[in-house]
């Protein structure tokens, strides 16, 4: 992924090539560092949590699904969580490829999770944590508007 900026006040003048350039820039340019942290985080977290929906190593994910939602489903809570996990894996891939747009998808996804948790007594703390993640996803959209220029043919060289 190419990102641009040489100075915080002139964000479109230098292309980042490679991990060492990105790390140097993250150390010297706080906004780019924030973008990088959020970008990596919103790749890793949905990917890991999405994959875990298949095996339930971290937790029993079905226990977070509000009973009223389970009652509406034409399939089991486990099947619902596998579908949720698949969507989370796809979201992680999309954030990797195009954080400028995919982070909006993640924010909307988190809003849906928050609604589920607020309708299920006992998970208000998790809903509040997910609201914090939603705010971070929105922050990523704003930072990506500057730093995510996506893949362009001239980046290939």
Q: Which of 102, 100, 55, 103 is nearest to 81 (CA)?
A: 55
Which of 10-19, 49-58, 140-149 has the largest mean confidence? 49-58
Q: Flag whether pLDDT at 152 surpasses 70.
A: no
Q: What's the pLDDT at 12?
A: 45
Q: Flag whether pLDDT at 23 surpasses 50.
A: yes
Which residue blocks in the chain are alpha helix, DSSP H?
Answer: 18-28, 30-55, 67-72, 77-97, 99-118, 124-147
Q: Greater confidence, 138 or 121?
A: 138
- Please, which pLDDT band fits residue 16 given cuts at 50, 70 and 90? low
Are 96 and 43 in contact by the 8 Å Cβ rule? The answer is: yes
Q: What is the pLDDT of residues 86-126, one digit of tens each?
A: 999 999 999 999 999 999 999 999 999 999 999 988 899 99
116: region left, alpha or beta (phi > 0 left; psi from -120 to 50 alpha): alpha
Mean pLDDT value of segment 130-152: 87
Name 15's bridge partners. 4
Q: Flag whether pLDDT at 3 surpasses 60.
A: no
């Amino acid at each position: 992924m190419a990102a641009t900026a040489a100075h915080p006040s002139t964000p479109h003048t230098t292309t980042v090539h490679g991990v060492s350039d990105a790390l140097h820039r993250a150390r010297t340019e706080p906004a780019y560092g924030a973008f990088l942290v959020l970008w990596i985080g919103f790749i890793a977290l949905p990917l890991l949590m999405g994959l875990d929906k298949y095996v339930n190593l971290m937790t029993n994910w079905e226990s977070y699904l509000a009973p009223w939602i389970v009652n509406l489903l034409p399939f089991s809570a486990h099947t619902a969580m596998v579908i949720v996990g698949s969507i989370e894996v796809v979201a992680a891939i999309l954030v990797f490829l195009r954080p400028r747009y995919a982070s909006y998808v993640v924010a909307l996804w988190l809003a849906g999770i928050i609604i589920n948790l607020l309708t299920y007594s006992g998970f208000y703390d998790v809903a509040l944590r997910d609201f914090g993640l939603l705010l971070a996803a929105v922050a990523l959209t704003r930072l990506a508007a500057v730093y995510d220029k996506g893949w362009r043919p001239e980046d290939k060289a």
